[in-house]
Amino acid sequence: MKYYLVVGERSGDLHASNLMKSLKSLDKNAQFRFLGGEQMQAVGGEMFLHYKEITVMGFLEVLWQIRKIFKFLALCKKDILAYKPDVVILVDFAGFNMRIARFCKKHQIRTFYYISPKIWAWNTQRAYKIKKYVDRMFVILPFEKDFYKKFGYEVDYVGNPLLDAVNSFKGDDNFFAKNNLSPEKPILAVLPGSRRSELKYILPIMLSCKPYFEQFQWVVAGVDNVPAEMYEICKHYQVPVLYNQTYDILAHAHTAIVTSGTATLETALFSVPQVVCYKGNALSYQIAKRLVQVRYISLVNLIMNQKVVTELIQNDLTTENLRQELQKIIAGEGREKMLQDYRLLKHIMGSIGASTNTAHKIIEYLQN
């Protein structure tokens, strides 16, 4: 069968690549074309466009680049028609992908969605649009199945792909030597995100706490899809930036500071106590604050439906607040309570196998 996949960010590239591997193992004639990234490219198929061309974060940022986004949207629609896929598989990235879903419905192209848009966070009525335009939805958060049921839409909970990624991770035995780190000194991991706006607003505040915790080796998890100058501030604090080694860093970390996003759940699955941070453009934040309808922003707290990790958001993200919250989880009851909650989180999320489960479902639905 011919599969066309659309992702819009780094985590989507990872999850889509694992799904492609599972589809290849079940469908020996599988052909892929995609808007994606390097990890999908490594599996095989044809890359129409790299996701970094269309990734924009924040309400104002989207407005500033709206012409560019609509240009690539038109190109993607044209490419789908030319490819004539058996199914289009959309991965997260709601703003772009819901327009693709509506287009596919109009042209009678089967459309599946893997990793639901976070519509439960704001404007929940969009569930009706998803029900209208998406043939099958595969969700990865336990509470999403019940959420969609409220709108008369039956979806499949397939497990969470991060469980697979973390469980299958094979660490680098030479991690310390390769990165000139001491195996004797505990690591404080800094995960500042993968977008320019996150690095601009959040990383300086994260690093400003370093003088208070010199008993740790501070290590920044860097990504290579942003300009290297975004990490220039790390030189001032003499903190190494390790590119594309996030899981290795977490596998050896004692404590972490993490920008809100997928990384908060990854950090919890590695059983690393964390403080969650978020800060962005002031106007974008004020708009989001008025729209968002959930109590928490981190996946850890959302899944548990309670405060497990502290979230320092916008004006609350200060050096002093971060210092105090870090102190609570470095040792003692605060740290033990968080680790205990992490164990319950893993139980709630269920077993591994999200990519395989989704691939089986996709082929089953395509054959019916």
Residue pair 190/219 in contact (Cβ under 8 Å)? The answer is yes
Identify the pLDDT of residue 293.
57
Please report, for the chain, the start and end positions of each structural domain, with discontinuous segments joined by +.
2-159+353-367, 167-349
**Cα(273)–Cα(238) distance, integer angstroms:** 23
pTM for the structure as a whole: 0.81
The H helix count followed by the E strand count for the chain is 19, 13
Q: Report DSSP state, residue 49.
A: E
Residue pair 184/217 in contact (Cβ under 8 Å)? The answer is no
Specify the range with the lowest mean pLDDT, choosing from 35-39, 42-46, 91-95, 179-183: 91-95
- Band of residue 297 on the pLDDT scale cut at 50, 70, 90: confident
Superfamily of domain 2-159+353-367: Glycogen Phosphorylase B; (3.40.50.2000)
Mean pLDDT of the chain: 92
For residue 165, pLDDT beyond 50 = yes
Question: What would the pLDDT profile of 59-98 be if each residue is shown by its tens digit?
Answer: 444 555 677 788 889 999 999 999 999 999 999 998 899 9
- For the chain, the C-alpha Rg in angstroms (whole number) is 21
Residue pair 298/264 in contact (Cβ under 8 Å)? The answer is yes
**Cα(173)–Cα(185) distance, integer angstroms:** 17
Cα end-to-end distance, the chain, whole Å? 14
Superfamily of domain 167-349: Glycogen Phosphorylase B; (3.40.50.2000)
Residue pair 120/141 in contact (Cβ under 8 Å)? The answer is no
Q: Residue 287: what are its φ and ψ, rounded to 5°?
A: -65, -50
Q: Judge if 2-159+353-367 and 167-349 fold alike in CATH terms.
A: yes
